[in-house]
Amino acid sequence: MKKFQYEEGITYYLKQIAKIPLLKPEEEKKLAIKAREGDKEAIEKLIQSNLRFVVNVAKNYVGYGISFQELISAGNIGLIEAARRFDPSKNVRFISYAIWWIKQSIFQTIQNQKDLIRMPQKASNLSIKIDTIYLNLKETLGREPKYEEIKEKLNEFGIQVDENTIKSLLLTKRYSVSLDIPVDEDEGTSFIDFITKHGTKDIEKKLFEEELKKEIEDILSHLNERERFIITKRFGLDNEDPLTLRDIGELLGISRERVRQIESKALRKIRAIATKRHLKDLIS
């Protein structure tokens, strides 16, 4: 029975990262406003719509003494923190803001648990107790139990835990997955095979290219017309082949050196805006 429930959870997880649609900007902003006000459902939806991004970031840190599962868990905790802190009034998409928190959480986990693969025993025991109570309440109530209901049940057993800890452990468990768990028993496909074959490159391309395109378009709007033209042509942002400084100079009727000077000034502006918005990783 336990194995069945676990595999069912893995299937749910894979469906989340494969099928949950990315939020449109207006949808994201509405959710972010509600999340800012403490709406738990809004926070949950904001998190779920970006889970695939966490998997994509986590895969870059495999080999640092932490399992892929734990890297995902750490990244998800960072995503949760970003969802709590995100200010929708800022002119930036949520995932652009969240990337710092995701990476920071992963870095912290690597630093704190260098050679430790398993969760400390005390935390592991607590996670098991919380998960058991969660499943029992879900079956009894016929719905998802609230965090305060889980907290009350823990109190009955003499366990004092705040709701944030309960939430973090439940979300970490719910959105974690082992590399070796079979996704398709008939084909013998593991999760890592699934990600490599079906998701990683497509997810990375879709998330980074779409988000980067939007951010760059917005940043370019802060440049003057000549700077915008030069940057666009130099980096092929108009889907054309990138041009040399000399080529652009001929188009504008100015020297190659003058083009280089304008390009340098424009790039300094772009870096300043990107740094202010925590977009250094995306721009570089």
pLDDT digits (tens, 9 = 90+) for 184-229: 444 454 444 544 444 444 444 454 555 556 667 777 888 999 999 9
Model confidence pLDDT, tens digit, residues 221-270:
889 999 999 998 988 888 788 899 999 999 999 999 999 999 999 988 88
Other beta carbons less than 10 A from residue 196's beta carbon: 12
Provide the residue ranges of all domains of the chain, joining segments of one domain with +.
Answer: 8-114, 121-173, 200-283
pLDDT over 90 for what percent of the chain?
11
Mean pLDDT of 30-51: 88
User: Please, what CATH class does the domain formed by 200-283 belong to?
Assistant: mainly alpha
pTM: 0.42
**Model pLDDT, residue 64:** 67
Task: Specify the DSSP element, H or E, that contains 8.
Answer: helix 2-19
DSSP 47-96: HHTTHHHHHHHHGGGTTSSS-HHHHHHHHHHHHHHHHHH--TTSSS-HHH
Give me the CATH code for the 8-114 domain, please.
1.20.120.1810
Give every CB contact of residue 198 below 8 A, 6+ residues apart in sequence: 18
β-strands 189-190, 182-184 pairing:
antiparallel
Interval 105-149: pLDDT, tens: 888 787 766 534 444 555 556 777 887 788 888 878 888 888 889
The residues near 159 (Cβ < 8 Å, ≥ 6 apart) are 126, 129
